[in-house]
Amino acid sequence: MTRTKLVGAAILLGLALPVGTTPAEAQSRQTVKSGAVRQAVPLNQGWRFHFNDSGSNPGEEVLQSGFDDSSWKPVSVPHSWNRIGGYGAKPSEPGNWQGIGWYRLSVEAPAAAPGMRQYLDFAAVSKIAEVWVNEQRVGGHEGAFARFRLDVTDAWKPGQRNLIVVRADNSKVEPGSATSEVIPLAGDFFVHGGIYRDVSLLQLPPVSIDPLDYGGPGVYARATSLTDELATVEVRTRLRNFADGRKVRLLTQVIDAAGRTIAREERSLNVARGASEAKADLSIRSPHRWNGRADPYLYTVRSTLMDGSIVLDSVEQPLGLRTFRFDADNGFFLNGQHLKLHGVSRHQDALRAGWALSPEQHAQDMALIEELGANTVRQAHYQHADEWSELADRAGMVVWAELPYVTSPSLKGDKGSAALWANAEHQLREQIRQNYNHPSIVMWSVGNEVDSAKGFGQKGEPPKPLALLQHLNAVAKQEDPGRPTTMADCCEGLSMIATAGEKLAGTTDLIGYNRYFGWYYPKPLEAAAQLGQTLDKLHAEHPKLPISLSEYGAGGAITQHSDDVKSGFVNFIGRPHPEEYQAWVHEQSWPVLAERDFVFASWVWAMFDFSSDLRGEGDSYDLNDKGLVTADRKARKDAFWFYKAAWSDAPALHIAGKRYVDRAYPVMDVKAYANAPAAQLSLNGRPLGTAACVNFVCEWKRVPLRPGPNKAVVTASVGGKTVRDTTVWNGPAANAGIRIDAGNLAGRVIQGKRFGSDTFVSGGTPMVLNMGSFGGRSLGPERSVQTSSPELFDYWREGEAFSYAVPAANGAWKVTLHLFEPKADTTRKALTVSANGEPVIENLDVASAAGGPLRELVREFPVTVSDGVLRLDFKTSGGKTSVAAIELTR
């Protein structure tokens, strides 16, 4: 059995009693060392873990001290039993187990003077927790994201060995499950299981700053007025007394960044048994404002509870002095100055760590966001760790904090049960109290896409999300009238998505719209126009409602690449997701957002690829791949570099498409991102001219590649400083041939041959054989083609007339066409193909010649190229022709 001994807790336990104190008085005056701030004894090491994969309950013996847990896995917390997602082939071991995990810790507790209260502090356990101490149940918690504390005094044995047992449950949400009344009920992210944040022990005297106030700090500060000359700060300190009435002193201080006390108030209090609150009003002259990324200055508020000169308890919290407002026409203002908010959404997981992130991982995430040049972060879709909000305070990020009311209030077609409402309200109060003092947080979101249950396969009548949304909005205003509320909308005005039919806009003070133009919606190549028109329309329909774009983006796979992002089929729930297409969507979106001040903020979805076992897309499994950075934080995608050029104050220059090293075609478009007016390109030492950088994008069209390595160098001048970036692309060998995967947005190697993506084409429409699936649900029936090269038929181009103009060296070539008929259509069709104006195929009925639909038909013919371009024209009478691939070989 694991045995852990805790030492070094003297700061909690030391006694400093006045001379002549009686034993009775001693019991009511247990203190920490004078001047000390409350400390926590860490309980992160020495745990034993067992996942109940058999489904059987191990019984009450697991709660007993004599239970043999030596076969259980030794773990430290933070810990999760889930490891969701990765890149490449999906392993046979899924990592998305849902059910019950058991944890046991045998710990030798620090001693405590008589009368001290003992609290277990859990920073988060997912999704439902039950806790026992020394075989006694001491409490539980329902909700995966908030801190909770349990008073375990009656069960705890100071100075002796204690047994802590935790039962964590992340069972699948379904009717009758324990998790079916605990938000979230659904969503495009995986709810990991485990004790995935820290555990600690608090030892406090009978009268203390309240540790049981919804897991909050018990100290809550806000500026009631703020000018350049004077700030007045209200500090509310909540107290809890387990003894009879006590007379104590409360010292409230504001401490500046240099450690100097600049405001203080000390008062005597008569504290009755139970919970109470004391208020102090402090004045700060010439206040230093918290001013976002420009100057994130922080004060500290300290509340100290004393009995005479003896410190009973002391808690510190951050204080940032700022004013802000939202204007429906002009956007966001911080300290009276307009600030265009542009940033990212962030989930709390990382590859191979799940939700069990270390402080170093939190810091790494924030450093990448700062590097990007973002000034705002959306905490998606739940309460994030305290460390994360502290990092946001210090980085000057403006934060959208969110409650996990996601997708639906009910598994049935109703407004949700009383139990679920109570749970949602409790989680919201926890989140607000635990995060109240963070100046970075400027809005509370009370829901995300709560009208989208049908998109997650919910059957029957759509749920009614509005009533709970209204209730939560009222709770948030009650808890914190100083911050506005917001929500993220899924579906307003999108006729292709089935919704609850209730009007949600206007429920909260602000609104965010999750909109994916260029990705999920028809006509993706019109992304910029559609986004602009939609934002203008929403603003006109809600002229008094400040609006934001709370999600936008596209999938991006760093091993999948496109030669022409405007030609292939955009398979948003399947494969491929070329890195270049993701970047193009963001190139189209940002200028639309930048020129609209009424859009107070925009958040890219998302900063990092994150776990979702609903998906198998791009080059990953069980990941949403819309991140600007891969889930392992190792690769910044091209879209990251675009935003760094657009947002960062530092000189920025990056050549796009560096990972597409082995090129399929002898010509390419070169693209770079720079915050410079223009950039210069040289290839293999030869200057190729200057390109204007329009909206941070610099392009050189139809750049020829020689066979083998081609070294590209791009330079630019930013603010008088020359910046430079280089890369190498390999051009195809002269005799390698040219192969086009018609209809495909990405190129790939098939049976040892490199095919480029659909390029050099005009007319026709790219098509897909099988779309893929979301959450195991496909958008269409699975089909297959009878062929020796099935991958070639994943995509195709079809139409009555379309043409290719393929760059090819002069001389003789052989052309191979891979044709088929995708539908059981009895209409006879007649295909004619011309090469450089000369007919090479006439009146061909593909289906008849192939022996039926969904069968490959190969046709070959010789051609001679004389001007560096092979022109292939496809025309069909009686219907459309489908071309899966084109090969040019010597």
Are 480 and 604 members of one domain? yes
**CA 542 – CA 499 distance, rounded (Å):** 20
Q: What CATH number is associated with residue 549?
A: 3.20.20.80
Which residues are tagged catalytic? 449
At 13, is the pLDDT very low, low, confident or very high (cuts 50, 70, 90)? very low
Confirm if 821 and 854 have CB atoms less than 8 A apart. yes
- Is 662 a domain residue? no
Which CATH number belongs to the domain containing residue 284 in this structure? Answer: 2.60.40.10
C-alpha closest to that of 164 among 138, 126, 145, 141: 138
Kindly state whether residues 485 and 605 are assigned to the same domain. yes
DSSP string, 293-317: GGEE--EEEEEEEEETTEEEEEEEE
- Judged by DSSP in three states, 200 sits in strand
Q: Which residue range is the domain that position 864 belongs to? A: 738-889
Determine, yes or no, domain membership for 696: yes
648 and 508 part of one domain: yes
Query: pLDDT for 840-864, tens place per residue?
Result: 999 999 999 999 999 999 999 999 9
Q: What is the pLDDT of residues 376-391, one digit of tens each?
A: 999 999 999 999 999 9
pLDDT of 206-229, one tens digit each? 999 999 999 999 999 999 999 999
Q: How far apart are CA 352 and CA 33, in angstroms?
A: 41
Query: Which has the closest alpha carbon to 205: 420, 431, 400, 25?
Result: 25
Q: Give the integer Cα–Cα distance in Å for 673 and 558.
A: 17
Separation of alpha carbons 132 and 118, rounded Å = 14
Checking if the pLDDT of 4 tops 70, the result is no
Cα–Cα distance, 697 to 651 (Å, whole number): 14
Domain end residue (candidates: 677, 706, 731): 731
Over residues 631-657, the mean pLDDT reads: 98
Can you state the angle between helices 418-435 and 466-479, rounded to 10 degrees?
A: 30
Do 400 and 420 reside in the same domain of the chain?
Answer: yes
Nearest to 671 by CA among 647, 702, 644: 702
Name the DSSP letter for residue 732. P
**What DSSP character marks residue 575?**
S
Q: What is the mean pLDDT of the chain?
A: 93
Write out pLDDT tens, residues 752-768: 999 999 999 999 999 99
The count of domains in the chain is 5
Report the alpha-carbon distance of residue 751 to residue 52 in Å, rounded: 45
Q: Please list the residues that pair with 190 across neighbouring strands.
A: none
**Would you give the DSSP letter of residue 70?**
T
Residue 214 CB-density burial (10 A; 0-12 exposed, 13-18 middle, 19+ buried): buried
- Say yes or no: 400 and 530 in one domain: yes
Q: Which of 409, 768, 765 has its CA nearest to residue 574?
A: 768
479 found inside a domain: yes
Among the three residues 319, 349, 381, which one is the final residue of a domain in this structure?
319
Domain final residue pick, 710, 731, 752: 731
In the block, tokens 């502290």 appear at 390
Alpha carbon separation from 299 to 221, 222, 224, 260, 595 (Å, rounded): 11, 12, 16, 10, 35
Reading the block at residue 104, the tokens are: 């046991």
Judged against a pLDDT cut of 70, whether residue 30 lies above it is answered with no
Q: Is residue 212 part of a domain?
A: no
Whether residue 247 is contained in a domain is answered as yes
- Considering only the C-alpha atoms of the chain, give the largest distance between any 2 of them, rounded to a whole number of Å: 113
pLDDT for 69-80, tens place per residue?
999 999 999 999
The answer to whether residue 660 is domain-embedded is: no
Indicate if 397 and 509 belong to the same structural domain.
yes
Residue 507: inside a domain: yes
Q: What percent of the chain has pLDDT over 90?
A: 88
Q: Compute CA distances 271 → 165, 277, 278, 337, whole Å.
A: 34, 9, 10, 44
Same-domain pairing of 346 and 426: yes
548's tokens: 């934001």
> How far is residue 598's CA from residue 845's CA, in Å, rounded to a whole number?
56
Say if residue 617 is in the same domain as residue 642.
yes
Asked if 197 and 290 sit in the same domain, the reply is: no
350 or 774, which is more confident: 350
Helix/strand/coil percentages in the chain, nearest 5: 15, 40, 45
Same domain for 147 and 269: no
Tally of residues, the chain: 890
Whether residues 604 and 706 fall in one domain = no
Residue 213 lies in a domain: no
Q: Quote the pLDDT of residue 43.
A: 98
β-pair partners for 57: none
**Same domain for 453 and 562:** yes
In the block, residue with structure tokens 């540790």 = 211
Local structure of residue 598 (DSSP, 8 states)? T
Domain of 71: which CATH number? 2.60.120.260
> Strands 117-122 and 653-655, how do they pair?
unpaired
